[in-house]
Amino acid sequence: SNNIPQHLRIRIIHADDDIIVIDKPANLRSVPGHADSPTDTTIKLKRPSDRLTAVEAWIQAIKSIPIDDSDSYKNEYVKELLQNISTTNNLSSIPRKLEPFARYVFRNRKRLLPSHIDDEPDGGKNEPPQKKQRKDDNLAQKTKQPSMPLSLRSAADEAFSIIQRLHIPLMNLPTPTEDWESAQGQLRLLGYGDFANENNHNLSTSEKRKLLVVHRLDCQTSGVLLFARNPESASKLCKAWRERDVVQKVYLAHVMRWPPYDDQKLEEDTIELPLAASRTERIKWEVRELDDGGKPSITKWKIYKDANCSEECTTKEGAILELHPITGRTHQLRIHCAEIGSGIVGDSLYGDSPVPWDAGKPTILRLHAQMLSLRHPRSGEELTFKAPRLW
């Protein structure tokens, strides 16, 4: 973590067993992504022609299984299982996730593992129930369903691991970002989350990933960012976000021109402009009428008053707005500021004069998540977190 550039380092605001709150700097991703994916979303990406789909790569992986290399298999049944899987008529029907794959092997064990059937005490006659049971019989049937023998489960796990190792390179996936290149990754480096076990399909979700995304900030936006540290907290917080239950967000934005204040002398008002994903540009959103697919989008604004100032913080350099998003659409604040005024200073997508994006020397978008208020997912206590702006 000492090698992370100073201006891209996160700052821990609060951490407990359920949540962690940080101050995210500008031009840092909230979560990991692809190293070759441009931060400027106006750049349109095309899928490489040589990249297989997940299903195509899965089929190719099964076809390329090294059946003859029997010495490398830990379980005696693996070679037989792989050999019979590779001769399956419809390879796309073979599940690509571990648990469904193991159940698939168990259901089809007479075809896939005939030698294992011979080794079973009942000769494989203890089949899973095929008919649906009445609701009254569900509880009783749960105790009667056959369990998967450990030797068969072990063979399924090893076979799946072998196919997956062949599968992933065939998809020609983009290179993932390094940990220091995202807020979530930096938390891992600081010991707040262990991502090393993400590919261990035998672990529960909470064991795999101790940091769960509740909301995000645009890469270029700085300020307060929250992560959950267990599934229960994540579920409660996401529900609160959807229902706007005591979740209040306050942003600061620097604009050069703001007609409601400059011309009409208004110091606060509400913006209601429906938004929808752009039909022509990747990820970018636009104002669109409700009857044309637009989603209701509401932002309350007022001229920001700094505690250290006796007057409004307005100068020849423009105005600093305090923004309260009532809804949470993608790029909502950036678009609303661009539609009503000149747009936010440093914005590379919207406004009167979008700043050309330079990945080598990115500009600072003057949009900052200053404050976040919410109820703690476990105690119910109302908490408020703040992060000072740097501009």
Catalytic site positions: 218
State the Cα–Cα distance between residues 117 and 111, nearest whole angstrom: 9
State the Cα–Cα distance between residues 254 and 355, nearest whole angstrom: 14
The residues near 311 (Cβ < 8 Å, ≥ 6 apart) are none
State the Cα–Cα distance between residues 48 and 233, nearest whole angstrom: 39
User: In a 3-state reduction of DSSP, which class is residue 383?
Assistant: strand
User: Which one-letter DSSP state was computed for residue 322?
Assistant: E
CA 12 to chain centre: 20
Instruction: Name the phi and psi angles at 155, rounded to 5.
Output: -65, -40
Look at the block and give the residue holding tokens 């105005």: 319
State the Cα–Cα distance between residues 61 and 159, nearest whole angstrom: 12
User: Which one-letter DSSP state was computed for residue 29?
Assistant: B
The tokens describing 311, both together, are 């007057």
State the Cα–Cα distance between residues 159 and 34, nearest whole angstrom: 29
State the Cα–Cα distance between residues 42 and 174, nearest whole angstrom: 19
In sequence order, what are the beta bridge partners of 286?
Answer: 276
Q: Which stretch of DSSP H or E encloses residue 358?
A: none
Q: Tell me the angle at which helices 98-107 and 150-170 cross, rounded to the nearest 10 degrees.
A: 130
Q: How many residues does the chain have?
A: 391
Contact between residue 339 and residue 345 where contact means Cβ atoms under 8 Å apart: no
